[in-house]
Amino acid sequence: MEKLIITAALTGNVVTKEMNKHIPITEAEIIEDIIKCKNAGASVVHIHGRDKEGKPTARKDVYEKILNKIRSKNIDVVTQLSTGARAGENTAEYRGQMLALKTEMASLAVGSSNFLDRVNANSFELIESLSSKMINNNIKPEIEVFDSAMISNAQWLLKKGVLKMPLHFNLVMNVPGSIKGTPKNLLFLVESLPKHCTWTVSGIGNAHIPMITMAIILGGHVRVGIEDTIMYNDTIKATNEMLVKRAARIAKELRREVADVDETRKILGL
Ligand code: ZN
């Protein structure tokens, strides 16, 4: 079996310091967590920008400062920037402004779904615009799948030439308003993917440990982090480092080796 890629989803758009004081919000906190997560086994970092008040933002300068810091500190890690729908104005221009920066990956939601507080609105026009920015800037999209129809959408975009093979999917399971994180649903999604594609899973909340364990067994990859899981267990608030360490430990128990950064680049074709 291929080695396991661990992605650390450090910050997200939703979690606040009040919900989990360990969440990295400032540039310095994000860099500190990237170093810790990399040392614990993560090879990809999924980054969200926050403004001075801690609110989600797609602002290019916010992302630029983080990327510059990663470079100046010589941290070798695959950076994946979020273009998610919760960081402000819902246009491709606003959401995709950081795609002008040098990054190896970016997230791309390929359909609409419900969040608890709003619609996760991603029209085909918006998806195509974000996707072409990524392709033109040599950025590999991570295709965010919140429901099974989004796999069909990705296949349609592939046929249209908007996306290019091999695709890399993130199966985002158990977001309220999206597909539940159950073993049956994960098997169904994995079996629905186009051939020769890679996939990772994000298990939100209680679905976290079952979904990442299944992904490790099935040959997929895993995403962990405070963006997906505020709690480490019933009583302890998670840190990003703890979540990466646990994923690496489960992989070790299941005899799946963890990929380093260069191996990850090879697996993902970066
Ligand atoms: Zn995210």
Q: What is the DSSP letter of 4?
A: B
Mean pLDDT of 219-230: 97
- Average of per-residue pLDDT across 159-173: 95
Regarding beta strands 44-47 and 6-9, do their DSSP bridges make them parallel or antiparallel, or are they unpaired?
parallel
Cα-to-centroid distance, 103 and ligand 1 (Å): 15
The strand pairing partners of 141, in sequence order, are: 106
Pairing between β-strand 140-145 and β-strand 168-173 as defined by DSSP bridges: parallel
Q: How far apart are CA 88 and CA 108, in angstroms?
A: 16
Could you tell me the distance, in angstroms and rounded to a whole number, from the CA of residue 23 to the centre of ligand 1?
Answer: 13
Q: Is the pLDDT of residue 18 over 90?
A: yes
Q: Report CA(47)–ligand 1 centroid distance (Å).
A: 7
For residue 106, the CA-to-ligand 1 centroid distance in Å is 10
Domain limits, the chain:
6-268
Residue 46 C-alpha to ligand 1 middle, in angstroms?
Answer: 6
Interval between CA 8 and ligand 1 midpoint (Å): 10
Q: How far is the CA of 217 from the centre of ligand 1 (A)?
A: 24
Q: Note the pLDDT tens digit of each residue in 126-153.
A: 999 999 999 999 999 999 999 999 999 9
Burial level of 205, CB count in 10 A (0-12/13-18/19+)? middle
Ligand 1 center–CA 71 separation, angstroms: 21
Rounded to the nearest angstrom, the distance between the alpha carbon of 108 and the centre of ligand 1 is 10
Using pLDDT thresholds of 50, 70 and 90, give the confidence band for residue 212: very high
CA 244 to ligand 1 centroid distance, Å: 16
Rounded Cα distance between 188 and 217, Å, is: 15
C-beta of residue 118 within 8 angstroms of C-beta of residue 154: no
For 60-75, the DSSP string reads HHHHHHHHHHHHHTT-
CB atoms within 10 A of CB 170: 26
Please tell me the distance between residue 140's alpha carbon and the centre of ligand 1 in angstroms: 15
The pLDDT value recorded for residue 116 is 86
Q: Which range is least confidently modeled, 158-162, 196-200, 245-249?
A: 158-162
Give the model's confidence band at 47: pLDDT under 50 very low, under 70 low, under 90 confident, else very high: very high
Taking only the tens place, the pLDDT of each residue in 89-125 is 889 999 999 999 999 999 999 999 988 888 889 999 9
Q: Region 7-18: what's the mean pLDDT?
A: 96
Q: For the residues 223-233, what does the mean pLDDT come to?
A: 97
Q: pLDDT averaged over the chain?
A: 96
Lowest mean pLDDT among 19-23, 26-30, 90-94, 222-226: 90-94
**Regarding beta strands 56-57 and 49-50, do their DSSP bridges make them parallel or antiparallel, or are they unpaired?**
antiparallel
How far, in Å, is the centroid of ligand 1 from the Cα of 183?
22
Q: Nearest-CA neighbor of 81 among 174, 19, 10?
A: 10
> Is residue 243 pLDDT above 80, yes or no?
yes
At residue 10, the pLDDT reads 98
Cα of 253 vs centre of ligand 1, distance in Å, is 28
DSSP single-letter state for residue 236: P
Instruction: State CA 235 to chain mean position distance.
Output: 25
What are the tokens at 148?
Answer: 């099974």
Residues 79, 43 contacting (CB under 8 angstroms): no
* C-alpha dihedral sign at 254, 210, 31, 99: positive
Would you say the pTM of this structure is higher than 0.85? Answer: yes
Gap from CA of 84 to ligand 1 centroid (Å): 6
**Cβ atoms within 10 Å, residue 88:** 16
* 165-194: average pLDDT: 97
Q: Is the pLDDT of residue 87 over 90?
A: no
Position of tokens 């073993």? 183
Yes or no: domain 6-268 corresponds to CATH 3.90.1150.10: no
> Residue 88 pLDDT more than 80?
no
